[in-house]
A = this chain, B = another copy of it.
Amino acid sequence: MTLTLTALPDIPLIRPGDDLGAILLAALAKAGLFLMDGDVLVLAQKIVSKAEGRMVNLTQVTPSPRAIELAVQVEKDARFVELVLQESLEVLRTRPGTLIVEHRRGFICANAGIDHSNVEGSWGNPDDWVLLLPVDADASAERIRRCVAKGSSLKLGVMIIDSHGRAWRNGVVGVCIGLAGLPALVDLRGEPDMLGFRLRITQVATADELAAGASLLMGQTAEGTPAIHVRGFPYPLRESYLGELIRSKETDLFR
């Protein structure tokens, strides 16, 4: 049983309105990869957000009083904090340099996933541009999946990932922020183990495991390899959505 992850070569810098599906198909062809049933494409959030035109110029943002107050606490630009608040449902933790929130889509992360690095706008000072996450990364993944399948009945998965810090452990890891066609969770509850005992209750976050593995190949350059082709994903593909991965507040002991 083998899982093969291949970084697609020569993905160009993505601009608003770019047809990511077509770009991915060209990159797959260049890599000599022909999509097969069960294949998954893992995409860095950044290229999806850029294609969707999610850049904002900070000079166009007017911070609210709350954003101005919070900006002092976390020592960040108040206009940036305003965008974080607009993209969030709740602020979880603040500390100088750190602003951890519940993103609109339910996951917990720093700065609502808004990225200040390596964003190029069409006008003004490059330092004023930031990039928001896709509005609905599940829907983005589904659109890209349809485009890549080109109307065929090919069974594919598409996942959009970002890098998140964790409670308790150092370093960021790739995590799923939206997906189409592959299981976010696989439920191993109640399956018998090799000795015939009942397996302990286990739900495996298969999408996050794949996100982390694929992220390894993206991590070396900021944007050099933002698309990973995966062959050998060891579970049946099925419809799924990000919400499966979001722990309910009632069962979350660490909010």
Interface-lining segment among A1-9, A76-84, A145-153: A1-9
Question: A120, A199, A213 — which one has the most chain B CB atoms within 10 A of its CB?
Answer: A213
Q: How far is the CA of A188 from the CA of B222 in the complex (A)?
A: 10
| A219-B169 in contact (CB<8A) | no
Q: How many copies does the complex hold?
A: 2
**Interface-located stretch among A49-57, A66-74, A92-100:** A92-100
A3 to B217, Cβ gap below 8 A? yes
Q: Counting CB contacts under 8 A, is A123 at the interface?
A: no
Which candidate, A18-26, A136-144, A172-180, is the interface stretch facing chain B?
A172-180
A selection of 15 A-B contacts at a CB cut-off of 8 Å is: A1-B217, A2-B5, A3-B5, A118-B193, A167-B255, A170-B244, A170-B245, A170-B246, A171-B204, A171-B206, A173-B209, A188-B219, A193-B223, A209-B215, A210-B212
A30 at the interface (CB under 8 A from B): no
Q: Determine which residue in A3, A100, A214, A233 has the highest number of CB atoms from chain B within 10 A of its CB, and name it.
A: A3
A34 interfacial by beta-carbon distance below 8 Å: no
Task: With A108-B169, A206-B219 given, name 11 new contacts (CB 8 A).
Answer: A1-B225, A3-B216, A4-B5, A117-B197, A166-B167, A168-B254, A169-B205, A171-B204, A172-B204, A174-B209, A209-B219
CB <8 Å contact, B216 and A253: no
Q: Which residues of B contact A170 (CB under 8 A)?
A: 185, 203, 205, 244-247
